[in-house]
Amino acid sequence: MSAPHPTDEAAARFEQVVRLPKVEIFVTERCNNRCTYCSTGWENAGAAAGSLPHVPREVIREHLEAHFARGARRVLFQGGEPTLRRDLGALISDARDVGYEASTVFTNARVAASPPGARWLADLGVTWFQVSIQGGTAEAHDASVAAPRAFQQTVEGTRRLLALGQRVKVNGVLTRHLLDSLPEFAALMIALRPEEVGLDVVRPSPAFEPGRASYRDLLPPLSRYAGALREALESMNRAGVVARLISCPPCLVPGAEQYVSEEQVTTVTQIPTGDFMHKLSQRRSLQLKAPACAGCAYDTTCPGLFGAYVEQYGFDELRPAPHRAPTVHEAPRRAEAVEGPLTAALRALFVREASSAPYAVREVTAAHDGSNLLRCTTPTGEVVVELAPRGEGPAYERTRHFTVRYRAAPGSPPVDTRLLAAIVRALRASEDRLVAPAP
C-alpha cells in the first residue's frame, strides 16, 4: 500500500507547521541502536540493558513550559530512542496541553516494523516522524548503527508509518557507510517517498572522545563523493522527494549548490550536556572557514567546515565560487527587477523614515536575483526579510505574488513572527496594485 498523497490544503498546513519556532528536547538516554557517530550509542554500548534513565516526565514538562513561554510552538522529542518510552503518548499530550501546535518524534522506527507498533505510533497524534536511515543497503545501515537487522526493521517501520498516513521526514548522517551507498539510498528514498530527506555532515560530539569513534574513519574527504552526492540529490528532487544537504560548503558539491541549506534559524536544541542552545549558532561555533572564503559568493550563507574535519583534511578541498547558482526556490533572474518600479512601490508601502516604532522597515533594496530585501528593526536587533517572486521552496508565507522569507545571517537575532506577519498583512492588502497580474 502506498502512502496517500497529501491534499493542497494539507501541504499548505505542513508548510505552516515547518515554519513554527521549534525546541528539541531529549527524553531518554536509552536506544536500541549503537550509532557510531552518536554519544548516546556509546553510552548504551557500555551500559547494562535498561540501566540508562528516561528523563522524568515532570522535567520534560518544565522544559516544555519554559520554551513555550519563550516562543516555541513546535517540539521535537529526541533521544536515545523516544519510542522506548511507554509513556511517549503522555509526553505528546503534555505538549498539546501546554499549547504546542506541532510535535515531532525523532526515531529509528524499528518499533513500527510490527503492525501493532506502527498503529501505536500512528495513534499518538504526532504531526510527523523524523526517521533515521543511515545507509542505502542493509550492510551499510547496520554497520553505521551497529545493530544487526536494524535496516530491515527501520525500512519496514517507515513503510508502515507512511501507509498509515503519517508524515515522515528522513535524516541521514554522511558517514562513510551512507556515502558509499548513496545510489542505493537515493533509490530507496524514491521508493519510500517521504516528504523530505535531510543529509547531515558528521558533526563533532562526545562520540569522538578518546577510545570511542574516529572522526577520520567515519568521514572521508567529502570532495571524493561530490559526484555521487550531486547525482543522489538531483535524482531524489527530480522524483519529487525534497532532498537537502545540511550545513555543508556548497563548493564541495559543484552542480548541486542549490540543494544546500542550513538549520532553521528559530530552532533551540538540547545538547548532550543538557543545556539548551540556539541550534544554528551552536553549529556555527563548531565550524571554521578559510581566509579565501571571504571572496566566495556563498560567504554570507556558507557555514564552513567543522573544526574536527579541518583538523583531518584542512581547507584544501574548498573552492570559493565567483557566482551563486540559482537555488531551487529562486525565480529566474530578471534584470528589470533591480531598482525597478516594484522596488520603489515596496519602499513607498513599507518605509516610514520618521517612525519610532519598535518594529519598522528602514529600507528596501533590490537584489540581483529578482527579489527585494527589507531591512527591518526589531527590539532585539536588525533583520532582513526577503520578498521574492512567488515560487516553490522554503518560505515563511506565500501571498498571491510573493514568497516571504527571513534571511538569516551570522549574528542575526531569532526570527520575530510578529514582524513577518505584519509584512504579510500589508502585502496582501496592496499586492494587486504593486504587481500587475499575468496576462
> Domain locations in the chain?
8-313, 335-434
Let me know if domain 8-313 sits in CATH 3.40.50.300.
no
Q: Is the pLDDT of residue 335 over 60?
A: no
Cis peptide before 99 (omega within 30 of 0): no
Q: What is the mean pLDDT of residues 412-433?
A: 83
Backbone φ and ψ of 69, nearest 5°: -65, -25
Residue 60: how many CA atoms within 13 Å on its side-chain side?
A: 26
**% the chain with pLDDT above 90:** 58
With beta carbons less than 8 A apart as the criterion, state whether 78 and 26 touch: yes
With beta carbons less than 8 A apart as the criterion, state whether 127 and 169 touch: no
* pLDDT the model gives residue 130: 97
Q: What is the mean pLDDT of residues 356-369?
A: 82
* pLDDT the model gives residue 328: 52
E-assigned strand segments in 247-293: 260-261, 268-270, 276-278, 287-288
Question: Kind of pairing, strands 196-200 and 242-246?
Answer: parallel
Mean pLDDT, the chain, whole residue set = 87
What count of other Cβ atoms lies within 10 Å of the Cβ of residue 202? 23
Pick 365 or 173 by higher pLDDT.
Answer: 173
Pick 153 or 329 by higher pLDDT.
Answer: 153
Backbone φ and ψ of 255, nearest 5°: 95, -10
* pLDDT the model gives residue 102: 92
Q: Is the pLDDT of residue 325 over 60?
A: yes
Q: How confident is the model at residue 253 (pLDDT cuts 50, 70, 90)?
A: very high
Q: How confident is the model at residue 408 (pLDDT cuts 50, 70, 90)?
A: low
Distance CA 226, CA 261 (A): 16
Report the predicted TM-score, pTM, of the whole model to 2 decimal places: 0.73
* pLDDT the model gives residue 272: 78
Q: Is the pLDDT of residue 312 over 70?
A: yes
